[in-house]
Amino acid sequence: MMGRMAQGSDHFDGRRFMNSDVTGRRHSSSRDALKWFFTRKRPKVTPVPSEPGPAPAERVSGREVRVTWVGHATALVQHDGLNMLTDPIWAERCSPFSFAGPKRFRAPGVRFEDLPPIDVVLLSHDHYDHLCVPTLKRLQAHSAPRIVTGLRVGEVLKRNGIGNVSELDWWESVEVAPGVVVVFTPAKHFSGRSPFDLDKRLWGGLYVHAPAGGIYYAGDTGYGPHFREIRERLGSPRVALLPIGAFEPRWFMSPVHMDPAEAVRSHVDLGAITSVAVHYGSFALADDVQGQPERELEAARLLQRVPAERFRMLEHGVSVPLPRSVASLGADAVA
């Protein structure tokens, strides 16, 4: 795989992966990171007392798609008798250390003990708030799910004793159940778990082709033409999970994290029946303040005339069925 990519890939140079969309910066440099670290606002973080939601259903059948937002980028997506988790993290911190690093200000919306059996983990990239080794070890003991992710991410998993991994390049696919195929899709981001392994592993989103309809999880990404390309190549999804948080300051974050207005644009580009906001509400990872992603998403949705039913912010821990078509939402939801 590496040799084939090195000969003609637009996102691998033989040593490191890169973004194929070069309309903006590749991503923020180490110098930019240091500048941000020493000048950032460090907004006040207030813990949010909360109780977890009820235990999700064991399975859903028929053509139902049910989504439970656990918090941050973690969602339980149930369809076609399958249970899938996106970028699961139940740890108290997203950090290489248990005693330092970004700490939760809100607990997960679902108790880990209340999870149904998990069949598939959709793992977008190797950053600590997305690839949480302690959580993945717990899941391996819990139900040994299949993990679908990008090239070389399996190295991190293997050295931590985590198996059953399928690694994919952009646009490659794997069948995870009869009639259910997962495609690894492009994103504008970067990778690395230390200063010494930057861009050594591939990042991306994941698109699930299933009898119940297309389900797309964008992972972490800046805004770009890949959303239209995903729609053209794979079709408009029934459900799109799109990130809206950790977007300030824009001079630093815009190459790798969408802001809420760009998330709404990506929803339109995808032609999604319903989009669900993720990547906010649990950890303070950037300079946007608590509540800012939610407020800006509402403003952007109104400005771009996207009905609330089409781009939803779910309550932590609450399971909701999502419609099969725009028509089933009613006349008010037609954008």
Mean pLDDT of 192-221: 97
CA dihedral 132, 136, 142, 146 (to 10 degrees): 140
pLDDT on residue 25: 46
What's the pTM?
0.95
Q: Are strands 274-278 and 311-312 parallel, antiparallel or unpaired?
A: parallel
The pLDDT score that the predictor gives to residue 120 is 98
pLDDT at position 24 is 47
Residue 1 pLDDT grade (very low, low, confident, very high; cuts 50, 70, 90): very low
Which whole number is the average pLDDT over 189-197?
Answer: 94
Task: List, for residues 40-72, the tens digit of each pLDDT value.
Answer: 777 889 999 999 999 999 999 999 999 999 999
pLDDT at 21: 77
30: confidence class by pLDDT, cuts 50, 70, 90: low
pLDDT at residue 28, rounded to an integer: 55
Average pLDDT over the chain, rounded to an integer: 93
* 253 neighbors 239 (Cβ within 8 angstroms): no
158 φ, ψ to 5°? -60, -45
* Distance (Å, whole) CA 303 – CA 1: 44
State yes or no: pLDDT of 314 exceeds 50.
yes
Average pLDDT over residues 293-314: 98
Which pLDDT belongs to residue 6? 43
Query: Which of 57, 56, 79 lies closest to 239, judged by CA?
Result: 79
Cβ atoms within 10 Å, residue 127: 21
Q: Is the pLDDT of residue 200 over 80?
A: yes
Distance, in Å, from the CA atom of 290 to the CA atom of 273, rounded to the nearest integer, reads 28
Burial of 37 (0-12, 13-18, 19+ CB in 10 A): exposed
Say whether pLDDT at 27 is over 60.
Answer: no
Q: Check whether 23 has a pLDDT greater than 60.
A: no
**Which pLDDT score, from 0 to 100, does residue 331 have?**
52
For residues 238-243, average pLDDT: 98
Each residue of 137-173: pLDDT tens digit? 999 999 999 999 999 999 999 999 999 999 999 999 9
How far is it, in rounded angstroms, from Cα 280 to Cα 285? 9
Confidence class for position 192, pLDDT limits 50, 70, 90: very high
Please tell me the predicted confidence (pLDDT) of residue 267. Answer: 98
If one compares 218 and 21, the residue with the highest pLDDT of the two is 218
pLDDT tens string 103-112: 999 999 999 9
Q: Considering only 236-245, 265-274, 319-328, which range has the smallest mean pLDDT?
A: 319-328
Helix (H) or strand (E) holding 267: helix 260-270
> Is the pLDDT assigned to residue 335 strictly greater than 60?
no
